[in-house]
């Protein structure tokens, strides 16, 4: 492969207001890409999803029941399935979250009218009907073309309960597999990932790292996948944000483990919150809130570095993945909704936040090999919002779709010098970018302009590259707090962008607060 140096010079136009893109003074910037070198593969599972029995995340969001007038397939909404298929969801984590450590799988199998309803004390204290259980979830992931990431109940469950659930799902020719067949699915299910507990340092039992470790060993030993030829990766509970006790304890034990137990991943949970309890407004916020929120989300890089350094000490070969299986914006709930349902609107700020996190995960792709945004439908930083028969796509959804070319693409090193965006005492890089070659060899570039005041005109030097144009999409909005609503569902939507290569130069403009993804064309 010939060495390629891609230099980007930028003219930045200052704007008079956040919502109006008026011309101003020029600011220089540069980006250098070296395609002669390549980094790790950006595992497609980095773009994973999370669905918990929480508010309308499952009920009404995914599941409406087979008798609903809303178009569905075996009770699962057709419009939501089509939307999720379009972003090529690789994996879905279920049934929780905090809900998982109070979930008993037998309550969610068998005839729907015979299932045992119960309370959901973690999320609103509402009745959980258990009409969406193992069979429905497996049907759902099959419909959207995703893999299953099952969360085992360690908090109120037992190793036997988890072991029997895995046998029920994956075995053949046993009493439990016969029961599965009697419930409508003779063939074994494929379980790609098993999470052993959830936040065992908190809502999953407030366990010390040492106590959880003893639980982990038993669950990892006895929760078997019985389906021949199907690998099931086991993910242990890991750190609570920057706290390192779990990381040290679990990874040291893994290094010194005996043959009878093993793990493939260590989970990390970290939300962008700006203080606890979550109080940041989802709409109607100003530039100070915009900047502080994005500054906090950039801290994901330091967080991964902290835990990756500990993992490297015990696992220099990087066999154990760091799995960021809860991340995203956690904002104040929408006024007038049940606060336990964690319903929030989704703005252009959230789209920028998602892109920044994707770029961080990609740069750590040697260790971060799966993430799961919280959550998929109607909860927190959702892809999709539903209201009875209506559905709309959020700005975050559009970023997930724009980044599909980076699924299983190989990272290409990029150096960015885009200047600094400042808002009061908050400072951060104005431009963030990654590049990668997809499995077919095509070069892709994703660039985020966080500055809400400045449009960046890029002149890209493509000397030595066989390219005639660049084609892709850009996502921006008239305001940083712009959202999509059922009355205006396309206020924030991607628009095509393209540019010709003239004399080995590619020129395009990045709008303020924008995310742009481009593929080079021959």
At 26-80, the pLDDT tens digits run: 466 777 878 778 999 999 999 999 999 999 999 999 999 999 999 999 999 999 9
**Both tokens assigned to 462:** 């493509």
The pTM (predicted TM-score) of the whole model is 0.94
pLDDT at 4 over 70: no
Domains in the chain, number: 2
- Tell whether 440 and 397 lie within a shared domain: no
What is d(CA 92, CA 371) in angstroms, rounded to the nearest whole number? 10
Segment 376-410, tens digit of pLDDT: 999 999 999 999 999 999 999 999 999 999 999 99
pLDDT tier at 8 (50, 70, 90 boundaries)?
A: very low
Which amino acids are annotated catalytic?
Answer: 199, 326
**Both tokens assigned to 259:** 């043959």
What is d(CA 39, CA 57) in angstroms, rounded to the nearest whole number? 36
For 234, list phi and psi in degrees, rounded to 5: -105, 130
- Tell whether 114 and 257 lie within a shared domain: yes
- Domain of residue 441 covers 5-40+411-521
Q: Could you check whether the bond before residue 249 is cis, i.e. omega within 30 degrees of 0?
A: no
- Tell whether 331 and 319 lie within a shared domain: yes
Tracing tokens 């109940």 back to the chain, one arrives at 153
Question: Which pLDDT value is given to residue 34?
Answer: 81
Q: Give the bridge partners for 328, in sequence order.
A: 271
Give the rounded distance of the alpha carbon of 93 from its chain centre.
10
Residues in CB range of 114: below 8 A, 6 or more apart:
none
Question: Which pLDDT value is given to residue 342?
Answer: 97
- Tell whether 79 and 183 lie within a shared domain: yes
Burial of 11 (0-12, 13-18, 19+ CB in 10 A): middle
Nearest to 159 by CA among 232, 69, 74, 261: 261
- Tell whether 100 and 195 lie within a shared domain: yes
DSSP per residue, 250-309: HHHHHHT--TT---SEEEEEEEE-SSSS----SSS--HHHHHHHHHHHTTHHHHHHHHHH
Tracing tokens 């242990």 back to the chain, one arrives at 236
CATH number, domain of 290, equals: 3.20.20.80
Task: Give the end of a domain, one of 349, 376, 407.
Answer: 407
Sign, Cα dihedral of 279, 284, 288, 291: positive
Question: Which pLDDT value is given to residue 28?
Answer: 61
Sign, Cα dihedral of 33, 39, 41, 42: negative
DSSP per residue, 162-218: HHHHHHHHH-SSSHHHHHHHHTT--SPPP--EEEE-S-TTTTTT---HHHHHHHHHH
* Pair 322, 367: CB distance under 8 Å: yes
Nearest to 406 by CA among 360, 358, 458: 358
- Tell whether 257 and 331 lie within a shared domain: yes
């Amino acid at each position: 492969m010939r060495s390629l140096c891609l230099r980007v010079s930028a003219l930045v136009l200052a704007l008079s207001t956040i919502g109006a893109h008026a011309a101003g003074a020029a600011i220089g910037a540069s980006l250098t890409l070296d395609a002669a070198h390549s980094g790790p593969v950006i595992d497609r599972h980095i773009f994973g999803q999370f669905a918990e029995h929480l508010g309308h995340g499952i009920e009404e969001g995914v599941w409406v029941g087979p008798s609903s007038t809303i178009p569905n397939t075996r009770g699962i909404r057709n419009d939501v399935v089509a939307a999720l298929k379009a972003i090529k969801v690789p994996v879905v984590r279920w049934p929780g979250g905090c809900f998982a450590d109070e979930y008993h799988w037998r309550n969610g199998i068998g005839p729907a009218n015979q299932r045992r309803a119960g309370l959901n004390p973690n999320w609103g204290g509402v009745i959980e009907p258990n009409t969406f259980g193992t069979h429905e979830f497996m049907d759902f992931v099959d419909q959207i073309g995703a893999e299953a990431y099952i969360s085992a109940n360690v908090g109120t469950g037992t190793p036997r309960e988890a072991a029997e659930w895995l046998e029920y799902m994956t075995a053949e020719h046993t009493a439990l597999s016969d029961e599965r067949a009697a419930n409508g699915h003779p063939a074994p299910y494929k379980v790609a990932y098993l999470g052993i507990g959830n936040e065992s340092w908190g809502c999953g039992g407030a366990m010390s790292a040492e106590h959880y470790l003893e639980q982990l060993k038993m669950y990892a030993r006895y929760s078997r996948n019985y389906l021949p030829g199907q690998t099931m990766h086991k993910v242990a509970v890991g750190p609570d944000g920057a706290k390192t006790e779990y990381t040290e304890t679990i990874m040291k034990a893994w290094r010194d483990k005996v043959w009878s137990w093993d793990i493939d991943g260590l989970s990390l949970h970290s939300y962008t919150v700006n203080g606890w309890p979550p109080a940041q407004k989802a709409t109607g916020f100003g530039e100070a809130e915009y900047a502080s929120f994005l500054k906090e989300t950039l801290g994901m890089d330091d967080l991964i570095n902290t835990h990756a350094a500990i993992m490297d000490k015990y696992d220099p070969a990087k066999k154990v993945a760091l799995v960021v299986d809860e991340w995203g914006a956690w904002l104040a709930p929408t006024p007038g909704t049940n606060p336990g349902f964690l319903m929030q609107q989704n703005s252009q700020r959230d789209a920028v936040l998602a892109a920044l996190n994707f770029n961080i995960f990609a740069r750590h792709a040697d260790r971060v090999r799966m993430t799961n945004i919280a959550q998929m439908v109607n909860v927190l930083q959702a892809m999709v919002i539903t209201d009875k028969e209506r559905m709309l796509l959020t700005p975050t959804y559009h970023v997930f779709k724009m980044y599909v070319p980076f699924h299983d693409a190989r990272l290409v090193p990029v150096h960015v010098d885009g200047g600094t965006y400042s808002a009061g005492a908050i400072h951060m890089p104005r431009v963030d970018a990654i590049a990668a070659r997809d499995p077919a060899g095509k070069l892709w570039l994703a660039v985020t302009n966080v500055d809400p005041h400045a449009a960046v005109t890029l002149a890209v030097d493509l000397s030595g590259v066989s390219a005639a144009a660049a084609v892709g999409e850009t996502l921006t909005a008239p305001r940083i707090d712009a959202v999509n609503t059922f009355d205006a569902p396309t206020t924030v939507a991607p628009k095509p962008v393209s540019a010709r290569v003239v004399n080995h130069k590619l020129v395009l403009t990045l709008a303020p607060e924008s995310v742009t993804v481009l593929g080079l064309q021959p």
